[in-house]
Amino acid sequence: MELTGAEITIRCLQEEGVEYVFGYPGGAVLFIYDELFKQETVKHVLVRHEQAAVHAADGYARSTDKVGVALVTSGPGVTNAVTGIATAYMDSIPMVVISGQVPTSFIGEDAFQEVDAVGITRPCVKHNFLVKDVKDLASTLKKAFYLAKSGRPGPVLVDIPKDVSNTKTAFEYPSTVNIRSYHPQVAGDANLIKQAAQMLLEAKRPMVYAGGGVILSDAAKQLTDLVRLIDAPCTNTLMGLGGYPASDKQFVGMLGMHGTYEANMGMQNCDVLLAVGARFDDRVIGNVAHFNSVPRKIIHLDIDPASISKRVKVDVPLVGDVANVLGELIKVLKSSKQKPDAAAHKDWWKQIDEWRGANSLVYKNSSELIKPQFVIETLHKITRGDAYVASDVGQHQMWAAQYYKFDQPRRWINSGGLGTMGFGLPAAMGVQLAHPDATVACVTGEGSIQMNIQELSTCKQFNLPIKIIALNNRYLGMVRQWQEFFHGNRYSQSYMDALPDFVKVAEAYGHVGILVEKPSDVEGALQEAFARKDELVFLDFRTDSTENVYPMVPGGRGLSEVILAEDL
């Protein structure tokens, strides 16, 4: 039977088992929307801005192991989506974005709502396609899903001209994909795995540093087993939180610019470092030369060969899928007669505990001013550490990362690589749709929330009972902090003036709003909010406006050159 391109598009989504498409209609995708209308398997979530469609698809993907799907129209639809695509790209999130394009015969003529979607998105997608012939549509969509999910995941854009979606051809969904130039390496090299195992067993001061790759590869269990087996302290990156249980005694917290003292000191002073699904980026290891100034052996496991030896030279490169290679590594370690060096490890743990003693996350609570850290700690308590927490970008993000102790993977949803303000709320929508019965919180700031606040409307339409935890400090706090530290207290454009009454805003959209001004009301307000299981509640916490995030390794400095709260 012959189907139109639009019918084929929907059929492909059905074949891929797509549950939700996040999107916004327009001229170039009208035929596709028409087909969406005629069926019920693929549900469409109408957002209020295309950026939010992509973030929602992203949140959906991060909190599951599925591919997120967004659908946007040509021109402004695509350009609005770009921030979302770049966000997903930086964090390697599997996603397919379908964009409409002007009819093929108009391409290149500056037609109404024409942009070069493939050109604009090229640097921020894993791959993209312009489908010029409807005969190629099904196989292209198949490839798109395969590319998005396999290897190092990432967003893939498929640009479909309007005439292609309205032209008929025979439909057959390919059962397999073969891209001759694309063969991601899944299994690791057996010899290198042996070398790595030996190195880990001989380590006197081992350290495991695990990133988002652990989450993406669903390797939390393997990571935990391995860390216990080799008796090493384990740190997670901002992207890796939940990959190792935060409540475990071998966990030393997040590392990096706002990492714990023990994590950063451990990184700097270990003799064997196992990096897993992480990429030694600048926010994580600070100054490269400083990091390299001490000798240590590095084993680096990543699915992307280009991540290995990009910023830091490694001794044992392990290219492969994290879960797979960790599994092999565990086997080799278990079959070895050699055991970790207990005596040396005892000294190492003693040293770690000393660093822990610096208590780098301690803060002074107050009975007058709401401390943001206290809100997050209370959030953790009220939700019993079992919520999905989507975050925006800024100080609140760091506090959420530091004080909400994630014990499970895929619970912490944040824009780590691109640092996109406006990510939190739409991402939380994707999470809530994926997990309708779960508790979903969105930790945000009064700056970030205003970047996609229109999505309160989407939340109403789709009954998404997200709890918005706004740490409202009346500042673009992270900017203010940098200005305080590095720009002589000149708070250039970082004060948030003329703020709306968020309670009224929430109410105007049909939700519940609660203003919290006193520390003694924090717990009660959170309790009330989470008791409202079926309602979205916007909690406007008026927090201490001058609180800073500590510890802090200033940009360009080394991991041990850290500013602690008590230094000031």
Partner 1 sequence: MRHIISLLMANEAGALSRVSGLFSARGYNIESLTVAPTEDATLSRMTIVTSGSDEVIEQINKQLNKLVDVVSVMDLSDGDHIERELMLVKVRAEGADREELKRMSDIFRGRVIDVSDKTYTIELTGAGSKLDSFLQAIDRKLILETVRTGASGIGRGERILKI
Ligand X SMILES: Cc1ncc(C[n+]2csc(CCOP(=O)(O)OP(=O)(O)O)c2C)c(N)n1
Q: Quick one: CA torsion of 515, 405, 252, 152, rounded to 10 degrees?
A: -110
Please tell me the count of residues contacting ligand X according to CB under 6 A.
Answer: 20
Q: Count other C-beta atoms under 10 Å from residue 199's C-beta.
A: 19
Residue 38: partners with Cβ closer than 8 Å, 6 or more residues away: none
- Which one of the listed residues 239, 267, 478, 496 is annotated catalytic? 478
Question: Is 113 known to be catalytic?
Answer: yes
Does residue 130 touch partner 1 according to CB under 8 A?
Answer: yes
CB atoms within 10 A of CB 256: 26
Interface pick for ligand X out of 376, 393, 401, 553 (rule CB under 6 A):
393
CA distance 471 to 495: 14
Q: Is 127 in the site for partner 1 (CB under 8 A)?
A: yes
Q: Which partner in ligand X, partner 1, none is near 119 (CB below 5 to 8 A by kind)?
A: partner 1
The whole-angstrom separation of Cα 370 and Cα 264 is 29
CB of 150 to partner 1, least distance (A): 11
CA 384 vs CA 135, 371, 381, 435: distances in Å: 52, 20, 5, 17
- Residues 392 and 424 sit within 8 Å (Cβ to Cβ): yes
Stretch that binds partner 1, among 124-132, 244-252, 405-413, 481-489 (CB under 8 A): 124-132
Residue 95 CB neighbour total at 10 angstroms: 31
Q: Are 95 and 16 in contact (CB under 8 A)?
A: no
User: Which residue's entry shows tokens 């998005």?
Assistant: 148
Q: Is 50 a residue of the active site? A: yes
Q: Which of 211, 213, 447, 519 binds ligand X (CB under 6 A)?
A: 447
Chain centre to alpha carbon of residue 317: 25
- C-alpha–C-alpha distance, residues 428 and 431, integer Å: 5
State the binding partner of 471 from ligand X, partner 1, none, CB within 5 to 8 A by kind.
ligand X
Q: Are 54 and 22 in contact (CB under 8 A)?
A: yes
Which one of partner 1, ligand X, none interacts with residue 448, CB within 5 to 8 A by kind?
A: ligand X
Residue 511 lies near partner 1 (rule: CB under 8 A):
no
Indicate whether 408 belongs to the interface with partner 1 (CB under 8 A).
no
Q: How many CB atoms lie within 10 A of CB 39?
A: 13
Residues 6+ apart with CB under 8 A from 508: none
Phi, psi for 449 (deg, rounded to 5)? -60, -30
Quick check: helix, strand or coil at residue 130? strand
Distance separating the N- and C-terminal Cα atoms of the chain? 73
Beta carbon nearer to ligand X, 236 or 420: 420
Per-position x/- string for 160-199, each x denoting binding to partner 1 as judged by CB under 8 A, each - no binding: -------------------xxxx-----------------
Residue 306 binds which of ligand X, partner 1, none (CB < 5-8 A, kind-dependent): partner 1
At 314, phi and psi to the nearest 5? -115, 155
| 104 near partner 1, rule: CB under 8 A | no
Under rule CB under 8 A, residue 294 binds partner 1: no
Given the residues 15, 113, 461, 462, select the one marked as catalytic: 113
Taking the complex as a whole, the smallest distance from the CB of residue 285 to ligand X amounts, in Å, to: 21
112 is catalytic: yes
Nearer to ligand X, 345 or 396 (CB): 396
SS3 238: coil
Helices marked H in 336-394: 342-356, 372-382
Residue 309 binds which of partner 1, ligand X, none (CB < 5-8 A, kind-dependent): partner 1
Catalytic residue among 162, 297, 371, 467: 162
Neighbours of 182 (CB within 10 A): 13
Determine if 118 is a binding residue for partner 1 (CB under 8 A).
yes
**Binding to partner 1 by residue 126, rule CB under 8 A?**
yes
Residue 304, binding choice from partner 1, ligand X, none, Cβ under 5 to 8 Å by partner class: partner 1
Site string for ligand X, 21-60 (x = CB under 6 A): ----------------------------------------
Among 84, 94, 151, 394, binds ligand X (CB under 6 A): 394
Q: How far is the CB of 10 from partner 1 (least distance, A)?
A: 25
* Site residues, ligand X (CB under 6 A): 392-396, 419-422, 445-448, 471, 473, 475-479
Enumerate the active-site residues: 50, 112-113, 162, 478
* Site residues, partner 1 (CB under 8 A): 118-119, 122-123, 126-127, 130, 147, 179-182, 304-306, 309-310, 313
